[in-house]
Structure 1
Amino acid sequence: MAKLKLRVATFNALSLSFIGHILTTFLERKPGISVFHETEGSRAILDLVASREFDFGIVQLSGDYPGIDVVPLPSVPAVCVLPLGHPLEKKRVIKIGDLQGQKLIALGRNSPLRIRVDSLLSEAGVTCDKNLETTLAASACDLVSRGVGIAILDPFTVSYYGNTEIVVRQFTPNLPYEIALVFPAKSARPVLATEFEMLVREMMKLEVDALSQSLLISSSCGSSPD
């Protein structure tokens, strides 16, 4: 008898660690099944799910997309990542105006978070020295640790990176890092996909709570609220 198979795709930030916890737990609960996991950018995942090449995906949410059903997951705020010893380290919260003249490591131009950061900078009339652009948040973390600049990133990647050479601060205005489960539209979901969805919801709530607490602890190390 052929094994039941689940095909799931997740975007880079979740593939570093979070999805590993979920897959391990799911396989422990459902012995005898087979899971194929793919890591792609959110746009590519939307295409794969819409064409039914995958049972579902987890993406960074960025508007409507034809051919899929969207199930939002809890969001967490993006954070500001600084190299150790940076002048802004003394602040508990980094404001958009604090970025004026700073060397800002930007994510790729197709990143929903990059697009929103650029929009905020434009609205606030803030000019940064975007001296470097990288498509991977993990690479941005590494570059920050080397003193190349600062970055506005998702807390999943920052938490996984865990380098002692970086400092994490809250960022305002709040930039919710919104993610969602996506399924092929107008099609019955496999039982395994429904069970996996329930596990994702369960573990995502725990992860978001842990990240929120970690951010509060990290930010409390700053000496100035302004």
Structure 2
Amino acid sequence: MSPRLQLRQLEALATVAEHGSMTRAAHELGVSQPAVSRLISDLSAEVGFQLFDRREGRLVPTQEARFLLPDIRRMMEMMAQLADASQNIKTQKAGHLRIACLPGFATSHLPEVVANFLAERPGVTVTIEPDRPERILEWIIGEQYDCGITDGFEGHPAVESETVLVRSVCVFPDGHPFAAKAIITPADLAEERLIHTRRDSAFFRALSDAFFAEGIKMNPVVEVRQFTAACELVIRGVGLSVISEIDAVGYAKRGLSFRPFSPALPHKLSLVRPIHKHPSMITLEFMYLFRESLRVFEQD
């Protein structure tokens, strides 16, 4: 078949074959009858054989045309599917979103945001890949993921980012005496076993400085990388911890209580994406919704 064949010509062939009439085909296609005749005539000239015979006032495809019709109809169905897919993408109802995130987010907060996002977009699929901040940065720089949720991000020329300051709270098991307090301070934690983030993290350094400023010695018992791990240990009575309020809320109905911690030690959470990769509408919409979901936890 000649590469010069036009989709409209093939559409006219299939429509005339279905209705057996130029007039009815023209009505179906929304064009004039002479326009359909011209399309069929041009197509016949391109392929080099007659496309229709007239029998008892009806146009009937020739043997050669009948040979072409199954492929033409399949092609038209594919074009219709492509049009539907394009419309779904345009209206942000289809596509694939790749999210890199901190391990804790894969099991707290993020699942609810993703569930709400997908509820209105049945054609969208998502990949969630949790890992440490260093790895997330590598993925975003390499444009392997559409967006990322990380901490400790200090900027990179290949990454666009927005940092959100999330409130920190002191978490303790249900029934602990701290439930009677409005605010927890380093002095309150002087005799408590402390579960803390890794010592090389900015958050641990800020917490350590807060204790030092009040002349209080920390009593560390377990060092963890993730706030969710701290929550699991607190629930089991291993000790107390100061963590992001986002993670604390996720455990509020699982045996854990929390109160604001003073002085304010906001956890710096960064939303990142590749700066040189044009973001899809789905990516931008998800990042907006995720950012909005953080506002209730944002440090004033």
Return the TM-score normalized by structure 1.
Answer: 0.79
What is the distance in 1 between the residues matched to 2:286 and 2:140? 15
Counterpart amino acid of 1:208?
A: F
How do 1:67-146 and structure 2 match up within 5 A? 67-73=158-164, 75-146=165-236
Deviations 1:57-101 (A, max 9, x none): 01225433453111234x331100123454544322111222224
Tell me how far 1:108 sits from its aligned partner: 2.1
Change beyond 3 A, Cα 1:4–1:86: closer
Indicate whether 1:182 and 2:272 are aligned. yes
- Decide which of 165, 171, 174 is 2:261's aligned counterpart: 171
Match of 1:53 among 135, 144, 154: 144
Match of 2:155 among 54, 64, 72: 64
Deviation at 1:103, TM superposition (A): 1.3
Q: How many residues were matched structurally?
A: 209
Distance (Å, rounded) in 2 between the aligned partners of 1:39 and 1:181 = 14
2:114 aligned residue (5, 23, 48): 23
Following the alignment from structure 1 to structure 2, what is the Cα–Cα distance between the partners of residues 84 and 202?
29
Give the root-mean-square deviation of aligned CA atoms. 2.7
| Aligned 8 A contact 1:145 1:163 in 2 | no
The SS at the match of 1:109 is coil
Q: CA deviation at 1:184?
A: 1.3
Cα distance in 1 for partners of 2:288, 2:257 equals 34
Amino acid at match of 1:124: E
Equivalence for 2:297: 208
Distance 2:175 2:118 in 1: 43
* Larger-Rg structure: 2
Check if 1:32 corresponds to 2:123: yes
Partner of 2:184, secondary structure, is strand
Asked if the contact 2:169/2:258 (under 8 Å) is kept, the reply is yes
Match of 2:23 in 1: none
Q: CA deviation at 1:54?
A: 0.8
Q: Is residue 2:198 matched to residue 1:198?
A: no
Q: Distance in 1 between matches of 2:112 and 2:172?
A: 28
Deviations 1:95-142 (A, max 9, x none): 122222431111223444223212322333321211222223222222
Higher helix share: 2
Instruction: Report the TM-score when normalising by structure 2.
Output: 0.61
Displacement over 6 Å in runs of 4+: none
Cα distance, 1:202–1:131 mapped onto 2, change above 3 Å: closer
In structure 1, what residue type is equivalent to 2:274?
P
Runs of at least 5 residues in structure 2 that lack an aligned partner in the other structure: 1-81, 86-93
Counterpart contact for 1:14–1:156, Cα < 8 Å = no
- Residue equivalent to 1:216: none
Change in 2 beyond 3 A, CA 1:72/1:137: closer
Higher-RCO chain (CA-CA 8 Å, sequence separation at least 6):
1
83, 101, 108: which one aligns with 1:10: 101
Q: Give the drift of 1:27.
A: 2.2
Check the 8 A contact 2:153/2:270 in 1, yes or no: no
